[in-house]
Structure 1
Amino acid sequence: MKNKYKNLISILFLLLFCNCNEDVAIPKLECTQPDLKVNRTVEDVLKTATITATKYVYDDVIEAYVVSSDESGNFFKTLYLQTLATENKPAIGFSISVDATNTYIDYRIGNKVYIKLKDQFTDLFYGGMRIGSLYEGNSGAASVGRISQNDYKSVLNASCTLLDEDKLVNSISIEESLDDNKLNTLIELSNVQFTEATNGRHYFEEANNVGGSTNWHLRDKSGNQIIFRTSSFADFSTHLVPEGSGKVRGILTKYGSDYQLMVRSEKDVVMDGKSSVPFFTEDFQTVSNNVNFALPGWSNIVEKASKLWRTMVSAGNGYAEFNTTSTTAAENIAWLISPKINLTGYKNTVFSFRSAQHDLKVDSPLNKLEVYISTNFDGSNVTKATWIKLDAKVPSLSTPTREFISSGGIDLSAYSGNINIAFKYIGSGKDKTLNGAFMVDDVKMFGEK
C-alpha cells in the first residue's frame, strides 16, 4: 500500500514540475482575412453624400481604419473610422452606428476594415459623414441610424491589418481643429489645459449634464477653446479632471455649431506640464456702439490726421475698430494702447488677440494693422516710446469679411516688469484703394505662476 502511495505522489510531482523550466505557449488569436476587393474610396462616397439620407445602390467596397473604442464607455454603439493620410491628402473620417456594444473586441483601434456599401445609407450630420441603416423617427423624417445586430458584421469586415494609431493621429492646434474637414478623425492637441471651471470637478457631473454627458473646455495658450465631452457611462467619469497642461488625443465630433473632442479612455489625457493662467483679459463687452474708444487705462492716440479708434457692438459682441472709409485724409495713423500690464511673477507669458477686417480693397503696407510692445511708454507720448513690432497673424484681403481670426500665441517670455501692447493702424481715406477697417477683440495674456 505504501508503494502505491509513493508511486502516486511521484506521478503527481512529475506532472506538476516536469515542465517548470519550459515556456508555456500563449494561444494566438486566429484571423481570417476577408476576401473583398476595394473598388471605391471614402473620398468618392463623401462627394455624393448630402444632408438627406440616400441609399447606396452599388456593390462597392471601401476601406478605412478604426480610431474609436467603446472599451472605456465614452463611446456607445458608434464606431469612428478614417482613411490613412498621405502627403497630398488629409485623412477623411466618418461614423457608423451599430446596434451592438463591446465592439472594441472585433474592431480594435488601428484595425483596417472593409465596408460593403450596397443597400446602406449615407448622409451628412453637421458636416460629418455617416454610413448605416435607414432610421425613421416619429416625425417621419429619415436619417442614417444603426445597423442591426444581425447585419453589422456583414457590412463591417475587419481585416488582419492592424496599424499603429500614431500613424493615424493628426497633431494640430485647437484653432486648426475647428474645421469640418477634420470631423470624425483622430486628432491630438498639444500645449492645452482644462479651463479654470474644472478645478476640483469630475469628468462627469450631474449638475452639468448635457444629454447624458458633461461638457468642459480645453484651452490653449492663445485662448482658443474646444469642448471636451465625457459620457456618464465612461469608466473614468467619476475621476477628477486633471490640472496642468499637456496633450489630449481623441475623436473630433460636432453637434450643431459646437466642435467637441471625445477621448477613447483616460489614457488619452496626459497633463505633465504646468498650467498657465489668464492674468489680463479685455473682451470689450462693456463698450458702447459707434463712439470714440474710451476704456479706463487704455490710450487712444492719433499720430496723423484726426480719426480715432472707436468701439462697436454687433450682434451683442463688442470690439474696437478703426475705419478709414469715412475719412478724406491722405494718411491716417492711430494707436490703441493697452493699460500697463505687469508681467512680474509670471513665466512663459503668451499674448493673443483676435482681429477681423471689412471693406479692404488691397493688401498694402499703406493700409495695415500692426502690433507692438513697449517697456517705456509714458501713457501719452507715443513717439518717444520704444516700440518693438510683434509677429502676429492679422487679417488680409483674403480673410472673409468680419470673420475674426486668432493672432496665434505670441511669446513674451523675454519680457518682464511693466509692458504696454499697441495696435497701430495705417490707412488712407483720400485714396479709396487704401481704406477699409480693422477690428480687434479678446486681448489676453497668459502665464505660468
Structure 2
Amino acid sequence: MKMKSIIKLTVLFLLFGIVISCIDTGDYSLPEIEIEEPNVTVNSSIETLIATFEDSGNDVLDFDSMGSGLTIEGFVVSSDEAGNIYKTLTIQNKPENPTAAIQISIDAVDMYTFYNVGRKVYIKLDGLGMHDNNGVLEIGKINGATIERIPFFKDVEKDYVLRSSEVVEIIPREINSVADLNKSHISMLITLSNMQAENKGQMYGDLDNTFNVNRVFNSCTDGERIIMRNSGFADFKAQSIPDMSGKITAIVGNYRGDFQLFIRDTNDVDFTESRCDPVFGEDFQNVTNNTNLDIDGWINYAEAGSKVWTEKVYQRNGYAEFNPFRSGDNLNIAWLITPGINLDEHQGEVLTFQTQHAYPDEGHDPLEVLISTDFSGEEDGIGNATWIPLSFKVSYLENFSSWFTFTDSGEIDLSTYSGTAYIAFKYTGSDTNNENMTLNIEKVKVSEN
C-alpha cells in the first residue's frame, strides 16, 4: 500500500471515530462497515428547498426559518477520490430520472470513503442554509448572513449528513444535446452522447501548474459546445483526452450562466467511436466584438459601399455580421468567403450554417450563398470566378419576436462538386434605399453526410 493511502485512511477513520479490526490477508480494499439505519423522519425535499430559496428572493435562505427538525434525503453522485471535486458532496433526489439535485459544502476531503456514489444520505438542516454560489445552489453552515463549509470537526456524520445502509446504482440522466441543458439539471449526474474534445491532443490538465483548466467539448450531432472544468490537483491531469468521440458522464455545474461539466474520473469519458470532425468548420467563437472580420484564410471584401463583415459577440457567442445601416451608401455589396475546402478527399459532403436577422425590409432578400471551384483564392479573382448559387432555408420575418433567432440552413448538397471549393456569403443592399437589414452568420460547416 502506498504511504499516501495509509495516511489518508488512518486520518479519516480517526476523525469519524471508526474502530477497524484488520486481518492481514494482503487485500488492501476498504473493509466493510456495518451501518445502522438512522432513525430520522424525512419531512422536506431538495425540490422544496430550491423552490423556497427561489421564492424568497434572498441571497441566503436560513433553513431554521422554515422550522426546526427539517430533514431531506438524497443519493450521492459525486466522488472526490480522483481529486477533481473538492470539499463538496453532490446529491440528487432519485437514483434514476432525478428531478432535483443540490451541492453540499463540507470542510473535508476523501469523502468518497464514507459517502460513496449511490449511497443514500439524510441531511439534517438545523443550523444550515442555502445560497447561490455563482450559479450553483449550495447548502452550508449558516454564519450570520453568509454560508460557509460545514465544519468537519463538528461531527458531520452525526449532526448533518447521515448515511443510510442503502446503496443503489446511479443511472445518469440522458440529455440529448448541450442545448437541452437547463438550470433544473444543475448538480445532477447526466450523460451526453456523441461528444468529442474540440482540440486534439490535449491533456485533461496542465503539467506545469495546479491551476484549474477549461477543456471545450462539442457535439457531433449539432455542434453545440460545453466546458469541462478540471482541477489542477486531479490525479488524471497528465492523461490525454482520447482523440475519439462518445459519451461523457458528468455532474452539471454552472458558472454565472454558463453550464460546465465535472467528471469524477476518466471512467466518465467513454470515447470509443471515431471522431466526427467536419471537412470544414467555423463557429466564430474566437472573434473580437465590433471589429472587422479577420479570420485566417477568410476573405472579407466590399465590392460596393464602405461596409464589410464584422465580428460580433453577444452573451459569449460569436458570429459574423453585416449591417449597412447608417453607412450612407447607395449600394452595399459585401463578400465573406471561406478558405478553400478540398472536396476530393471526402464523399457526400453537405454544407450547413445558421442565419439570424433583425430590422428586415419588406421585399429585401439580401443574402446569396454561392460556391466556386475555379476561384483563385485571391480577392482580385472574385470577379473572374464562376459562382454558382446554392439553395438554403431562410425567412426574413418582420415579426419582432423572430428577430435575433438563429435558423438552420438545412443540409445543402455539395456532393456533385469536386476539387477545391470556396463558399461565399454575399450581402446586397442599400442604406439609402432602406434595404439595410442586419444579418448574422454562424456555425458554417461542411461535413460528410
**Matching residue of 2:106:** 98
Residue of structure 2 in register with 1:220 after alignment? 219
In the alignment, residue 183 of structure 1 is paired with which amino acid? Answer: I
Residue 37 (structure 1) shift: 2.8
Structure 1 pair 112–295 and aligned structure 2 pair: CA distance change class (3 A): closer
Taking a change above 3 Å as real, the CA distance of residues 320 and 205 of structure 1, as seen in their structure-2 partners, is: closer
Cα 1:190–1:398 shift into 2, 3 Å: farther
- CA 1:44 to 1:353, structure 2 compared with 1: closer, same or farther past 3 Å? same
Per the alignment, residue 229 of structure 2 pairs with: 229
Quick one: distance in 2 between partners of 1:426 and 1:239?
50
Q: Indicate how the Cα distance of structure 1 residues 395 and 278 shifts in structure 2: closer, same or farther if over 3 A, else same.
A: farther
Of 192, 199, 204, 1:189 maps to 192
Helix, strand or coil: the match of 2:388? coil
Cα gap change, 1:445 to 1:79, in 2 (>3 Å): farther
Map 1:328-339; keep pairs closer than 5 Å: 336=336, 338=338
Per-residue CA deviations over 1:247-302 (Å, capped at 9, x if unaligned) read 11111223456543211122111111122446645549899968799997758799
Alignment CA distance shift 1:162-1:289 (3 Å)? closer
Question: Conserved in 1, the CA contact under 8 Å of 2:340 and 2:421?
Answer: yes
What letter is aligned with 2:121?
A: V
Residue in 2 that maps onto 1:203 = 204
Take 1:230 and 1:293, find their aligned partners in 2: how far apart are those partners? Answer: 32
TM-score (norm 1): 0.67
Q: CA, structure 1 residues 238+406, in 2 after alignment: closer, same or farther (shift >3 Å)? A: farther
1:152 and 2:156 aligned: yes
Residue 83 of structure 1 is matched in structure 2 by 93
Distance 1:309 1:230, change over 3 A: same
- C-alpha distance in structure 2 between counterparts of 1:351 and 1:277, whole Å: 14
Corresponding residue for residue 82 of structure 2: 72
Kindly indicate whether the alpha-carbon contact (under 8 Å) linking 2:369 and 2:389 is maintained by their aligned counterparts in 1: no
Does the CA-based 8 Å contact 2:302-2:308 persist in structure 1? no
Q: Secondary structure at the match of 2:208?
A: helix
| 2:246 aligned partner, one-letter code | G
CA contact (8 A) 1:182 1:252 kept: yes
> C-alpha displacement at 1:125, in angstroms?
0.9
CA distance in 1 between counterparts of 2:394 and 2:96 reads 31
1:165 and 2:173 matched: no
Distance 1:258 1:176, change over 3 A: same
| Mapped partners of 2:164, 2:251: distance in 1 | 22
Q: 2:8 maps to what in 1?
A: none
Query: Which amino acid in 1 is paired with 2:54?
Result: K
Change (3 A) 1:38 1:291: closer
SS of the residue corresponding to residue 116 of structure 2 reads coil
* TM-aligned CA deviation for residue 344 of structure 1: 3.0
| Partners of 2:288 and 2:126 in 1: CA distance | 58
Q: Which residue is 1:107 aligned to?
A: 115
Segment drifting more, 377-386 vs 187-196: 377-386
Query: 8 Å contact 1:376–1:386 — kept in the other structure?
Result: no
The one-letter amino acid paired with 1:93 is A
Indicate the SS of the match to 1:438.
strand
Determine if the alignment matches structure 1 residue 311 to structure 2 residue 316: no
Q: Which runs of 5+ in 2 are unaligned?
A: 1-30, 376-381
Query: Could you say which residue in structure 2 is the equivalent of 1:388?
Result: 391
Distance 1:323 1:82, change over 3 A: same
- Aligned twin of 2:438: 437
1:37 to 13, 17, 42: 42
Residue 253 (structure 2) aligns with: 253
Aligned Cα RMSD in Å?
5.1
| Identity of matched residues, % | 26
The aligned counterpart of 1:53 is: 60
Q: Deviations over 1:89-141 (max 9, x none)?
A: x83332102233333344333344332323211100111101011358xxxx8
Q: Counterpart amino acid of 2:219?
A: D
Post-superposition Cα deviations, 1:151-199, rounded to whole Å, max 9, x if no partner, equal: 4223223445545322x4232433444x5443222222222222336x1
Q: Within 5 Å, which residues of 2 pair with 1:288-367?
A: 298=299, 310-313=308-311, 320-323=320-323, 336=336, 338=338, 340-346=340-346, 356-357=356-357, 359-360=358-359
CA distance in 1, matches of 2:447, 2:77: 33
SS of the equivalent of 1:44 reads helix
Q: Which amino acid aligns with 1:131?
A: I
Does the 8 Å CA contact 1:66/1:112 hold for their aligned counterparts? yes
> SS of the counterpart of 1:75?
coil
Counterpart CA distance in 1 for 2:141 and 2:124 is 12
1:150 partner letter: K
Q: Deviations over 1:399-448 (max 9, x none)?
A: 785xx86959969796763445454769998998x974122256455679
**Distance in 1, Cα, partners of 2:292 & 2:216:** 34
Contact 2:350–2:415 (CA<8 Å) still a contact in 1? Answer: no
CA distance in 2, matches of 1:431, 1:288: 28
Q: Return closer, same or farther for 1:273/1:184 CA change in 2, 3 Å cut-off.
A: same
Does residue 1:129 correspond to 2:112, yes or no?
no
- C-alpha distance in structure 2 between counterparts of 1:340 and 1:108, whole Å: 53
